Amino acid sequence: MAHKPTSKPAKILYRPVGLASGVIGGVVAGQVFKQVWKHAAPGDRDEAPKSLSTGYALKEILIAAAIQGAIFAVVKAVLDRGGARLFERWTGEWPGE
């Protein structure tokens, strides 16, 4: 669906919405990742490895990072799109592009 160009005031008004959804998305994605890691991790390790953690193989660190990145990207896309649709409903303008 093609949207008309967004006005400058609409872009400015959308910034706080975008920032808030980014913060909320980070928190939600972090919690989702923790739960996924608890259930998917081998052994009895509840905490996901950090990049500088000792005691973890590089393969395990890379897998954890890939899963975490995928979850963050999906949550961000869902919240960005939902926030944009809500903004469009309130203002009649699409906030992107």
Question: 30-85, pLDDT tens digit by residue?
Answer: 999 999 988 887 777 778 888 888 888 899 899 999 999 999 999 999 998 898 89
Amino acid 43: pLDDT: 72
CB burial of residue 35 (10 Å; 0-12, 13-18, 19+):
exposed
Amino acid 33: pLDDT: 93
Could you tell me the pLDDT band of residue 2, with boundaries at 50, 70 and 90? low
**Residue 88: what residue type?**
E
Asked whether residue 9 carries a pLDDT value surpassing 90, the answer given is no
Written in H, E and C, the secondary structure of 31-93 is: HHHHHHHHHHCCCCCCCCCCCCCCCCCHHHHHHHHHHHHHHHHHHHHHHHHHHHHHHHHHHCC
Amino acid 29: pLDDT: 94
Could you tell me the pLDDT band of residue 3, with boundaries at 50, 70 and 90? low
